[in-house]
Chains A and B, each alone.
Chain A
Amino acid sequence: MTTTTRGAPAQADLAGTPQASEVADLIARAPVPRPTLPRTFGAMMAREFRVLRRNAVSTFTRAVMQPLLFVFVFAYVFPKIGGGFMLGGTSVARAAAGSITFATILVPGLMASMLLMQGIMAVTFPLVMEFSWQRTIEDRALAPVPIQVLAIQKIVAGAIQAFLGACIVFPIVLLVHAPGQGPHVHVTNWALFIFILAAASLLTSSLGLLLGTVMDPRKMQMLFAVILLPATMLGCVYYPWAALNHIRWLQMVILINPMVYMSEGLRAVLTPVLPHMPMWAVLLALVGGTAVFGYLGTRTFTKRVLN
């Protein structure tokens, strides 16, 4: 099986025509496949990590730039040039717990917004590509597992990417600040912190799957205007939810935004000095939201793969 059929020089383009004996070998001597669900699932995850590793630099840059610039401007530049950049949130925070820096508010908020960004970048964008043009989704749809497993695999892979992204961003938002402007981060319960990170990662990748299956590829730029931007700006990233009690209607309206629970949940475990939502509400929203988006996303995904 070591020789390759090459045509005569005049027929160089005929390279690749296999000889009968070679093909007989390929058919008769090939290892017998024994696919099982865990094996196939594992191989699909391995594929994701291979791609992730190949695109490591661009993925890393994508993950780091937004939070890095944010903490740089808000926790370094602003304190240096004005010292008195105040938001509603900061004043509430000050009232609640003495002198609290804006960086303290930003750490959980930026991690939450980073999770959303990663979840969507890791799941929605590739999915829209796979469904459009050449429908490369058919490649993995033909793997010997139910289509639903493919959807779940995409959620898990996206969540792992989001989780890793959050781990990279954590030291950045922790360490980049002007002297004396550092965040007051105090993790009292690591298990809960990791659970909330994991649940939030799954929530964003489930949402990513749902968006990827319902988005019209020609209107991808709408994703930023209609989903990402409002979710972030009105997601308690830059202010604690409690600070919105001055604008009661807004405080109520944004409860439909899953970002709120991600920011507040991380606030509760990272910066407990700040006011934050009760933990039961956070957990209910994160787990419930994952279930709802995961179910809907898997359903629409299956419908789009099988037409």
Chain B
Amino acid sequence: MMGASGYAIRTEDLRKTYKSSRGDVPAVRGIDLGVGSGEFFGLLGPNGAGKSTTIGMLTTLVVPTGGRAWVAGLDVVADPVGVKRRIGVVTQNNTLDMQLTVAENLEFRSRFFGLSLREASHRAAALLEVFGLADRRKAMSTDLSGGQAKRLLIARALVHRPDVLFLDEPTAGLDPQTRVNLWDILRVLHAEGQTILLTTHYMEEAEALCDRIAVMDHGEVLASGTVNELKDGTGAETVITVRYEDAVPADLTARAGLADRPGVRKVEADGDYVRVFTREPEGVLGELVTAGSTAGLAVRDATQLKPSLETVFLTLTGREYRE
């Protein structure tokens, strides 16, 4: 099933630059990924990070402008039809066939993948049972709720036993209950050995589901690894941010001697805020408030983030995570 590369998904310096009237817009700037068979892999990043473009290239609907990518051992550019045979894709939009019923959506998709009429109708019935849509089989697909439509999209992506399942922002726009329900479905699929690549801009989603994560921003992979590796590596520190009512004087942090405190890796001061990355957060906040009042600065607000994917992102980009 796997090609010589031994990965379910592999990319080498994969790039996509869109041409526009205002010049080139790079969406993906050379990424290297390797996802093993049976792995649940997450692409995490804010909107516009290049996740959907990446998934588009891996699913053959976006043509790369540089680099290479293989899915199930096949080159996505040289053999798009072979790749499409081996992947299931849950698109971000509701791409169900609006002209067809719930059952027909599965039956025709099965027939697109070469199942006979009989096999297709059995397959559709089985999938509808498992995904709790059996009682809606005759409804038009436009009449489904958001959660039901998502389940049908996942069922549809599984009709042909794909080697790799791609999910682009599967829980965006769903209510929290439906989201948790969907997570359960994905966990079960993963437990049964399904290779899954998921994109998400929800940190807790990546943290809850994925074996490994690649953090993306501005078309680049900033870091990748398991959640724990990421936290232990770049983002093991607690991040403490204090915003003052006025601009921070240049020597405030030096006078407070923050950088010399044990555990502190980095102190940032810019505009009206000071940010400290530290492994020993005890007392730092108080220190910052005192330093401010010594300099005649009132505190406007203060935050303290425990090590999490959020602090990883903050550490990697210097920017707060925007979902």
Whether B114 lies near A50 (C-beta < 8 A) is no
Least Cβ–Cβ distance between A307 and chain B, in angstroms: 6
Say whether B188 faces chain A, with CB atoms less than 8 Å apart: yes
Cα distance A5–B112 when bound, in Å? 29
- Contact of A30 with B123 at beta-carbon distance under 8 Å, contacts A16-B181, A43-B111, A144-B81 already known: yes
Interface residues on A, range: 35 or more
Whether B185 lies near A17 (C-beta < 8 A) is yes
Whether B192 lies near A136 (C-beta < 8 A) is no
The chain A residue sitting closest to B156, CB to CB, is A139
- Residues 17-47 of A, flagged 1 when their CB comes within 8 A of B and 0 if not, give 1111011111100111111100110111011
Whether A4 lies near B96 (C-beta < 8 A) is no
Whether A17 lies near B184 (C-beta < 8 A) is yes
Say whether A187 faces chain B, with CB atoms less than 8 Å apart: no
Whether B95 lies near A139 (C-beta < 8 A) is yes
Interface-central residue, B87, B99, B178, by most chain A CB under 10 Å: B99
Residues of B within 8 A of A51 (CB): 99-100
Whether A1 lies near B95 (C-beta < 8 A) is no
Whether B188 lies near A20 (C-beta < 8 A) is yes
Whether A13 lies near B178 (C-beta < 8 A) is yes
The chain A residue sitting closest to B80, CB to CB, is A146
Whether B185 lies near A16 (C-beta < 8 A) is yes
Whether B61 lies near A138 (C-beta < 8 A) is yes
Say whether A233 faces chain B, with CB atoms less than 8 Å apart: no
Q: Which of B61, B109, B132, B177 contacts A305 (CB 8 A)?
A: B61
Say whether B89 faces chain A, with CB atoms less than 8 Å apart: yes
Say whether A145 faces chain B, with CB atoms less than 8 Å apart: yes
Residues of A within 8 A of B18 (CB): 307
Say whether A142 faces chain B, with CB atoms less than 8 Å apart: yes
Whether A136 lies near B95 (C-beta < 8 A) is yes
Cα distance A133–B110 when bound, in Å? 25
Cα distance A293–B112 when bound, in Å? 26
Say whether B293 faces chain A, with CB atoms less than 8 Å apart: no
Interface-central residue, B59, B114, B127, B129, by most chain A CB under 10 Å: B114
Residues of A within 8 A of B113 (CB): 33, 35, 40, 143-144
Interface size on B, residues (CB 8 A): 60
Say whether A14 faces chain B, with CB atoms less than 8 Å apart: yes
Q: Which of A36, A136, A146 contacts B96 (CB 8 A)?
A: A136
Say whether A218 faces chain B, with CB atoms less than 8 Å apart: no
Tell me the number of A-to-B contacts counted with CB atoms below 8 Å: 159
The chain A residue sitting closest to B140, CB to CB, is A54
Q: Which of B59, B147, B185 contacts A142 (CB 8 A)?
A: B59
Whether B129 lies near A2 (C-beta < 8 A) is yes
Q: Which of A15, A20, A137 contacts B132 (CB 8 A)?
A: A15
Say whether B51 faces chain A, with CB atoms less than 8 Å apart: no
Whether B123 lies near A17 (C-beta < 8 A) is no
Say whether B133 faces chain A, with CB atoms less than 8 Å apart: yes
Whether B100 lies near A144 (C-beta < 8 A) is no
Least Cβ–Cβ distance between A257 and chain B, in angstroms: 32
Whether B85 lies near A50 (C-beta < 8 A) is no
Whether A144 lies near B112 (C-beta < 8 A) is yes
Least Cβ–Cβ distance between A62 and chain B, in angstroms: 15
Residues of A within 8 A of B134 (CB): 4
Say whether B264 faces chain A, with CB atoms less than 8 Å apart: no
Whether B114 lies near A33 (C-beta < 8 A) is yes
Say whether B318 faces chain A, with CB atoms less than 8 Å apart: no
- Contact of A1 with B148 at beta-carbon distance under 8 Å, contacts A33-B85, A135-B95, A143-B112 already known: no
Cα distance A54–B100 when bound, in Å? 9
Say whether B78 faces chain A, with CB atoms less than 8 Å apart: no
Whether A16 lies near B131 (C-beta < 8 A) is yes
Cα distance A14–B176 when bound, in Å? 12
Whether A145 lies near B81 (C-beta < 8 A) is yes
Say whether A186 faces chain B, with CB atoms less than 8 Å apart: no
Whether A47 lies near B100 (C-beta < 8 A) is yes
The chain B residue sitting closest to A43, CB to CB, is B111
- Contact of A39 with B114 at beta-carbon distance under 8 Å, contacts A136-B96, A306-B61 already known: yes
- Residues 46-74 of B, flagged 1 when their CB comes within 8 A of A and 0 if not, give 00000000001001111100000000000
Say whether B91 faces chain A, with CB atoms less than 8 Å apart: yes
Cα distance A144–B130 when bound, in Å? 25
Cα distance A80–B35 when bound, in Å? 78
Residues of B within 8 A of A156 (CB): none
Say whether B41 faces chain A, with CB atoms less than 8 Å apart: no
Interface-central residue, B87, B89, B130, by most chain A CB under 10 Å: B130
Whether B129 lies near A1 (C-beta < 8 A) is yes
Contacts A43-B111, A143-B112 aside, 12 further interface pairs with beta carbons under 8 A come to: A3-B129, A4-B134, A16-B148, A18-B132, A26-B127, A32-B161, A33-B114, A54-B99, A142-B59, A142-B84, A144-B85, A307-B56
Give 8 nearest A-B pairs by CB, closest first.
Answer: A16-B132, A35-B114, A43-B111, A15-B132, A143-B112, A33-B113, A134-B93, A33-B160
Chain B residues within 8 Å of A, Cβ to Cβ: 18, 56, 59-63, 80-81, 84-85, 87, 89, 91, 93-100, 104, 108-115, 119, 122-123, 126-127, 129-134, 147-148, 151, 158-161, 177-178, 181, 184-185, 188-189, 191-194
Chain A residues within 8 Å of B, Cβ to Cβ: 1-6, 13-20, 22-27, 30-36, 39-40, 42-44, 46-47, 50-51, 54-55, 133-146, 305-307
